[in-house]
Structure 1
Amino acid sequence: MSSESGRRAVAVDALFGFAVFAVVAIAVGSDVADPGVDEPLVVDRPALGYLIAVMLGALMFWRRTRPVAVLLATGVLIVANYVLDLPIIGLAVPLAPALYSAAEADRTRWAVGTATGLLLLSTGVRLAQGQDPAFVLGYELASTVAIMGAAIALGHIQVQRRRAGEQRMRIAELDRQAARAEAAERVSLERTRIARDLHDAVGHRLTVVMLHSSVAVEALEGDRPDLDTARTELGYVTDYSRAGLRELRSTVHALRGSDSEVAGTASLAYLDDLTAEVRAAGLTVDVRGRPERGDLPALVDATAHRVVQEALTNTLKHARARSATVEFTVDGEDLTVSVADDGATPAGDEGTGSGLAGMRERVRLLGGELETGPRPDGGFLVRARLPIGGPR
């Protein structure tokens, strides 16, 4: 609790205490007798009545920290006031602040129980003393119950308001946590997408550069270096390095733009360039059933290109294959892309790497399926099913 709110609470408690003291002190000073009593009470100790008024008012300073104790102490003082034949101070008004405080502290059962007990005690004693039942039950009881009930209800309303406020705060905190989690997830997904796009854009080019560099090194080794072959291979290295740099720049530029720009950095329209690079690296590639340009949605087109690119890159890096077949099949609302090679070892030996993981992520984002594994007759197969339905 802040110092300002603490001072405000003390001021409110002081007002409660003063109100209780004033009401009881006025009742003591007025010394009003109950109707229906043959002889008025004789008050020979007014100072004690004022002391009880002071004590009832002082109890209000503990109403927040000790609401039940304040309620019980107030009840005891009111009963003592009547047992000692002090001036009539009533029941409902002196007790109402304590009832409100107990209910406000979520001690409604204590408030209801104490009020009920005092009502039964007061009503029974007054009827036993011969007071008019019509006045006690018809007027006094109804007004007392109304005041007490209102005090308890007001306190209970404060509890409900406080709970509602706490619930709103919890909901707001949960919303903030959800927003932070969503933002973190977006960042993670964006990082994954960037990693996937950079891997696809640069990985293939670097693989081709590596293969041509290896051939150039082999051509320069030995007693009779093959300068013409080395020069040719290094020319490929230069060309593909430049192409990779251009593609990297295009990918970075696309990542700063929209998803359609990212998709535009890869397309089956560039499949001939891709297969030419692979053939130049020594792998025979046969392409069958390639869809015509514009027949596929942009994201499906880009994903199909990336699947072929990654599969052929893996073949070059791992399979030691001589040939590969790329086949496209449109069946209803699905495009099936298959890349099979005749390598001696599976191209998926590094199946836990980022290449196959990137393919799976791309295919899964479209709601498709990816199958990878060795072929029965040797080699390795990558097959992706891509849904092509929906707007293009």
Structure 2
Amino acid sequence: MIEGNREVAGDAALGVAVSAVVAVAVTMDLGGHRAPDAAAYAFVAGLGALMLVRRRFPVLALVATATGLLAYYAAGYPPIGLALPVAAALYSAAEAGRLMVASAVAAALVVVSTTFRLRDGEDPGYLLGFELASTLGLMVAAIALGAAVRATRLLRAEQRRSADLAAAEREHEAGRRVQEERLRIARDLHDVLGHTIAVISVQADVAREALDGDPEAARSALAVIRRAGDDAIGELRGTLGLLRDQGGGEGRAPAASLRHLDPLVAAATAGGLAVELATEGEAAPLPAVVDGAACRIVQEALTNCLRHAGASRAEVRLRYERDRLRVTVSDDGRGADLTAGPAGRGLTGMRERAALLGGRVVVTSRPGAGFRVEASLPLVARR
């Protein structure tokens, strides 16, 4: 609303200026067959009034100005020049993007005016040598100024549009990162709780079978269940702290890492699974995302051994190569026919983790031959 009021005020001021300048030229009465009268000054007022519609109807304002100017001269009023009365209308048409129309009208005015004035006997040397150059110069300047203002306005609009698109892209990217982080947290929570529940389930069976005949074994199994429950509660609290702490400070859950494999192996061993951990090659610092993904893959594989494989032994092998880390987890369980149905969420999660880093996970098994999980993770995480 304010911008609209400013435009109206600006157009009114321009109209007053045009009328004032042309009125001075009319009042000077530099010759002509007819002295200035009310009709001449009505023409002056009309030129100024056309500036009020120049934005909505730029071509109409230009054509009306040119037509009025020709009618003014045809009536024999004193000369007021050609370019001066029509300059504002030429500027407005060019500013509105009607460059060809403005140029055509200017050329037509020059041709018609020059033809009639030569026919009336005016001095060709003065008319063609001096006045024509100044008239064309003023007309070209008005058209060029209008075109430049339009180009500047379009450039600024494009810059604003680009800035808006960039802001929208940044917002979209931030939203995508939030979703990825939520997905990562959900996967981590699934892995931790799945592993903990598997340990609790196995130990609950041990406690139930040993409750009457071997109270000591039952107490040991219940102690393992208690520790597993405490670990799960700690993980949940850490995850809630992570969700609350958007700034990444205090309360953030510790990231999964191969440095934490010993507690995983101990929990699996307490669940009745004998785990052998072996490392090949020279252990090197890993990118955090690769380190975390490798740890979660091992955790998910051991959980599978406890919950589904019916295994008594498992082997975890880490092999450090020049450009990648290979993780292999195998067991001596009953195995399964992986072609018989869709992969479980755990196997799918392992594959997705590796794929996000530019790696891959291959799971092989057959009935009676156990499971074998082979993961290949690049040491430089894919961006």
Q: CA deviation at 1:7?
A: 3.0
Q: Tell me the residue number matched to 2:303.
A: 313
1:351 aligns with 2:343: yes
Q: Tell me the residue number matched to 1:339.
A: 329
Deviation per CA, 1:319-357: give whole Å up to 9, x if none: 23333222233344333111122333439777351x334
Which secondary structure does the structure 1 equivalent of 2:305 belong to? helix
Distance 1:242 1:24 in 2: 93
TM-score (norm 2): 0.85
C-alpha contact 1:339 1:381 (8 A) present in aligned 2: yes
Q: Tell me the residue number matched to 1:62.
A: 53
**Sequence identity, in percent?**
43
Deviates more, 1:56-65 or 1:371-380: 371-380
Q: Tell me the residue number matched to 1:79.
A: 70
Alignment match of 1:240 (pick from 198, 219, 228) = 228
C-alpha spacing 1:216/1:180, structure 2 compared with 1 (3 Å):
same
Distance 1:244 1:291 in 2: 33
C-alpha contact 1:96 1:148 (8 A) present in aligned 2: yes
C-alpha contact 2:94 2:146 (8 A) present in aligned 1: yes
Q: CA deviation at 1:80?
A: 0.7
Which secondary structure does the structure 2 equivalent of 1:120 belong to? helix
Alignment match of 1:281 (pick from 271, 281, 290) = 271
1:112 aligns with 2:103: yes
1:142 partner letter: A
Paired residue total: 374
Unpaired runs of 5+ residues, structure 2, are none
Q: Tell me the residue number matched to 1:5.
A: 3
Alignment of 1:11-160 (within 5 A): 11-33=9-31, 41-43=32-34, 46-160=37-151
Deviates more, 1:126-135 or 1:233-242: 233-242
Deviation per CA, 1:1-52: give whole Å up to 9, x if none: x1x333322222222222222233333332213xxxxxxx421672322221
Q: Tell me the residue number matched to 2:166.
A: 175
Q: CA deviation at 1:192?
A: 2.0
1:149 partner letter: V
C-alpha contact 2:35 2:78 (8 A) present in aligned 1: no
Q: Tell me the residue number matched to 2:294.
A: 304
Q: CA deviation at 1:263?
A: 9.7
Distance 1:60 1:334 in 2: 73
C-alpha contact 1:99 1:151 (8 A) present in aligned 2: yes
2:156 partner letter: G
Alignment match of 1:327 (pick from 317, 323, 329) = 317
Q: CA deviation at 1:281?
A: 2.2
Deviation per CA, 1:128-169: give whole Å up to 9, x if none: 222211111111100000111111111111101110111111
Q: Tell me the residue number matched to 1:38.
A: none
Unpaired runs of 5+ residues, structure 1, are 34-40
2:136 partner letter: V
Q: CA deviation at 1:247?
A: 4.8
C-alpha spacing 1:357/1:236, structure 2 compared with 1 (3 Å):
same
Which secondary structure does the structure 1 equivalent of 2:49 belong to? helix
Q: CA deviation at 1:253?
A: 6.4
Deviation per CA, 1:265-286: give whole Å up to 9, x if none: 5444443442332233233333
TM-score (norm 1): 0.83
C-alpha spacing 1:63/1:250, structure 2 compared with 1 (3 Å):
closer
C-alpha spacing 1:91/1:352, structure 2 compared with 1 (3 Å):
farther
